[in-house]
Structures are given as structure tokens and as C-alpha cells.
Amino acid sequence: MNSPTPQFVPSRLSIYEPIHQIGVWGENFKRNGNPNTSTSLIVEVDNKLENESETTSHEMLAPTNNYEQEASKPIDKIQRRLAQNREAARKSRLRKKAYVQQLENSRLKLIQLEQELQRATQQGLYMGGVLEGSHIGFSGTVNSGIAAFEMEYGRWVDVQHRQICELRTALNAHISDIELRILVKSGMGHYFELFRMKSTVAKADVFYVISGVWKTSAERFFSWIGGFRPSELLKVLVPQLDPLTEQQILEVCNLKQSCQQAEDALSQGMEKLQETVSSTVAGGPVDEVSYIPQVATAMEKLEALVSFVNQADHLRQETLQQMSRILTTRQAARGLLALGEYFHRLRALSTLWATRPPEPSLP
């Protein structure tokens, strides 16, 4: 950076601006102490300021003109180099994103393992000597159930992504309705597959499903009983489906209302369950050391949570089914594309969030 030839510097340094600003610019340099800029330029300007008065701008015009003339030739080279830098930086950022996403996944797995361990320890305390052998087996089963789900879910997301791309291509290519029908069916079936997977892992550990640790952070933000709200789903879908017939608008409206009613009923049931578990755990005298009866009873009540997850998924499934009955094949395809793209963007948001730069410190 100490070469004698004039160098292109970022426009904020304004070397092409009128003379009277050069003095200010030089001072800005000194104040910020920016190490990235050319020190030789500073020295040059400073020298000129010292040797001549500020009002003799005439002499200073010459170096400015020199900058302008000579800078026009190396501009292309410089701009090309900058473009290459940008490209390299972009690629580097993408690589970093992928790496951090991997780290994020590993971190989540670590959290799960720690929770497993904690739970196994607590169960060890609770079940005492009689079941000592089996409690290890239980948490082992839980572990493998969760591990199996994680693997399957990873594959599920990949297949989902592929299906979305296929749908997009198919819709743009205007393929026949018959072929589109096949894509719609497999798209719907894919969601139903997820509900089956969730049902299985819910039996192993319902808290795992409800916590949503298996999803990305932005998806988790919208989580309702271990998944998306069916009414939210409709809000995402419907704007993408224009134009709808009068009849369809009416049916969608009815569906929205039924969906909301069913959701509310389930939410209220969940609240009741929370109250029940809370009062069970809190019950009994606190000055006694033994809390086993309360905790044991609460465990039984928590079994209902599995039903809630199943009912919530069932509601999601029925909502999707009803939508597919209301819509034409083409509309259903657009709907599936919109839905898949929405979740894809939420996942991208999560990754972006995870890789957001730290608070910038002043130079």
C-alpha cells in the first residue's frame, strides 16, 4: 500500500472532490487512524499542506488532476480485481454459512445428548434399585428412537427440497394435469410420512417432538404442539392460489374457520393439561423430602401429551387433505410449492440468523 502510484480508494475518501475538501479528508484520516488506507497518500497531502498555505489551492490542483488522469487506466484492472475479491468473499461467506449450519446441527445434537443424560440420571434416581437394569435400556431405546428420527428427518428435508424443485419446474413447463396429479400426490404423501415419523418418535420421547429441537430455530419460533399451525399454513397458501372461484373462496373460508376452531380446542386442552400437571407436581406438603408420588402421578398425566401431538398432526393432515379436495390439481401443485418454499425460506432464515455477524466494533 506504500507504492508511489496513485491508488483507487473507496469513494468516501473523496479524492476526486474539490480541493477545499482535501484538507478535511486528510484530517479525517488522521482522526480515524484507518490503517487500511494508503499512508503514502496521507504523507503526500500532509506535506503539501505544510509546504503551502491552504489558500494556494492552485498548486494542489495539479496532483488532483494527476490522480484523475492516471487513475482512469488502471481503473479497469482495479475494478476487475475488486470484482474477483467480491466473488471470492461471497464464496467464502457461503462456505462459512454451510460450516456454521453444520456446527449448529452438531450443537443441537449435543444439547439433546446432554438432555438424554440428565433424564437418564433422574430416572435412575426415581426408579431406584428394582428397575436399575431396565432404566438404562429405556433411555437407550429413547436415544435410538431419536437418533433414527433425526436421520430420517434429514433425508425427509432433502427429499422435500427435491420435490419443490420438481414442482417448480413442472409448473413452469406447463405439464399435463395427469402428470401434475402424480407430483401433488407424492407431495402430500411426503407430509403424511412426516406425521407418521413424528408419531413414532413421540412414543419414544414426546418432549423431544414438542420442543422442536429437531427443527431449525425460525421454524421453532412458529411451533405449535410440535409443528406448524394449520391456520398459519392456510394463511401462507391462500394468497398464492389466486384466482379462486366463488365456490372455492367460500370453502376455503369455511376451512379457515373450522381449522381455527379445532386449533383453539386443542390449545385449550393443552392448557388444561398444563394446569393438571402443574397442580400435581406442586401438590403435597413441601416440608417432606419425598416427592415421588407427585412426580409419578405427573408422569402418568404427561402421557396425554402424546395424544396431543398425534391430534395436532392429525389436524394438519386433515387440513391438507381438505385443501386438496377444494383445489384443482394445478392449484394444489402451486399450493404445495408455496408451502415447501415457505419452510425452505424459514430454514434459510435460521441459517442466516446463526451466521449473522457479531456487533461491529468501531475502528
Partner 1 sequence: MQQAIPYKSWPLPCIDATSHRARSTTTLGHNGRGKDVLNIVSENAVIVLARKGCCMSHVMRRLLLTLGVNPAVHEIDEEDEAGVLNELGTICKGTENNKMVQLPAVFIGGRLFGGLDKVMATHISGDLIPVLKGAGALWL
Q: CA-CA distances (angstroms) from residue 123 to 45, 117, 259, 262, 329?
A: 75, 10, 38, 35, 51
Selected from 44, 116, 193, 318, the binder of partner 1 by CB under 8 A is 318
Decide whether 38 or 276 has the Cβ nearer to partner 1.
Answer: 276
Which residues 75-114 are close enough to bind partner 1 by CB under 8 A?
A: none
Q: Residue 206 interacts with partner 1 (CB under 8 A)?
A: no
- SS3 readout for the chain: CCCCCCCCCCHHHCCCCCCHHHHHHHHHHHHHCCCCCCHHHHHHHHHHHHHCCCCCHHHHHHHHHHHHHHHHHHHHHHHHHHHHHHHHHHHHHHHHHHHHHHHHHHHHHHHHHHHHHHHHHHHHHHHCCCCHHHHHHHHHHHHHHHHHHHHHHHHHHHHHHHHHHHHHHHHHHCCCHHHHHHHHHHHHHHHHHHHHHHHHHHHHCHHHHHHCCCCCHHHHHCCECCECCHHHHHHHHHHHHCCCCHHHHHHHHHHHHHHHHHHHHHHHHHHHHHHHHHHHHHCCCCCCCCCHHHHHHHHHHHCHHHHHHHHHHHHHHHHHHHHHHHCCHHHHHHHHHHHHHHHHHHHHHHHHHHCCCCCCCCC
CB of 271 to partner 1, least distance (A): 9
At its nearest, how many Å lie between partner 1 and the CB of residue 306? 11
Which of the ranges 55-63, 236-244, 281-289, 313-321 carries the binding residues for partner 1, by CB under 8 A?
Answer: 313-321
All three cell numbers of 242: 389466486
What's the min distance (Å) between Cβ of 225 and partner 1? 11
Least CB distance to partner 1 at residue 353 (A): 34
Q: Closer CB to partner 1, residue 276 or residue 351?
A: 276
Least distance from partner 1 to the Cβ atom of residue 315, Å: 6
Answer for which of 149, 191, 228, 308 binds partner 1 (CB under 8 A) is: 308
Residue 65 or 274 with smaller CB distance to partner 1? 274
Q: Hey, which residues between 285 and 304 contact partner 1 (CB under 8 A)?
A: 301, 304
Convert residues 240-269 into a mask of x (bound to partner 1 by CB under 8 A) and - (unbound).
----------xx-xxx-xxx-xx-xxx-xx
109 or 301, CB closer to partner 1?
301
* Comparison of 170 and 298: residue with beta carbon closer to partner 1: 298
Q: How many CA atoms lie within 13 A of 261 on its CB side?
A: 6
Which of 167, 241 has the CB closer to partner 1?
241
Of the candidate spans 26-34, 43-51, 312-320, 351-359, the one that interacts with partner 1 by CB under 8 A turns out to be 312-320
Of the pair 118, 261, the CB lying nearest partner 1 is at: 261
Taking CB under 8 A as the criterion, the residue among 272, 278, 283, 296 binding partner 1 is 272
The contact set with partner 1 (CB under 8 A) reads 250-251, 253-255, 257-259, 261-262, 264-266, 268-270, 272-273, 276, 301, 304, 307-308, 311, 314-315, 318-319, 321-322, 325
